[in-house]
Amino acid sequence: MTIAAIRQKMYEYIRFADEKKVKAIYTIVADEANEINEWWEDKKLLEKIRATDADMESGVDKGISWPEAKKQLLQSY
C-alpha cells in the first residue's frame, strides 16, 4: 500500500472515529504534531530556509521552473 493510500485511509478513519479513539491517536502523535504546527519556531528549519533563499538570490541555486516543479509533484503523487 502506498503512503498516499495509507494517509487517505487514516484521514477517513479519523474523520468518523469516536471521540475516545481520536483522543488516543492524538496522544500517540501529540508531541510530533505540535512540532509540525510550530515550524516557525524551529531555528534549524528557519536557518535552512534563509540559506536556500540566499543561494537563490545569489544565483548559486538556480531553482526550477513552476512547470518542472508541477511535473515532479504530479509524478511523485
Q: What is the pLDDT of residues 49-58, one digit of tens each?
A: 999 999 999 9
Which amino acid, 27?
T
Task: State the pTM of this model.
Answer: 0.44
User: Which residue segment(s) compose the domain that 2 sits in?
Assistant: 1-37
Same domain assignment for residues 32 and 57: no
Non-local CB neighbours of 77 within 8 Å, separated by 6+ positions = 4
Same domain assignment for residues 11 and 26: yes
Which residue matches cell numbers 469516536? 18
Burial class for 20, CB neighbours closer than 10 Å (0-12, 13-18, 19+): exposed
Give per-residue pLDDT as tens, 8-46. Answer: 999 999 999 999 999 999 898 888 776 666 778 889 999
Same domain assignment for residues 32 and 52: no
What integer pLDDT is reported at residue 37 of this predicted model?
67
* Radius of gyration of the CA atoms of the chain, in A: 18
Same domain assignment for residues 33 and 46: no
Judge contact between 52 and 44, C-beta under 8 A. no
Grid coordinates belonging to 2: 502506498
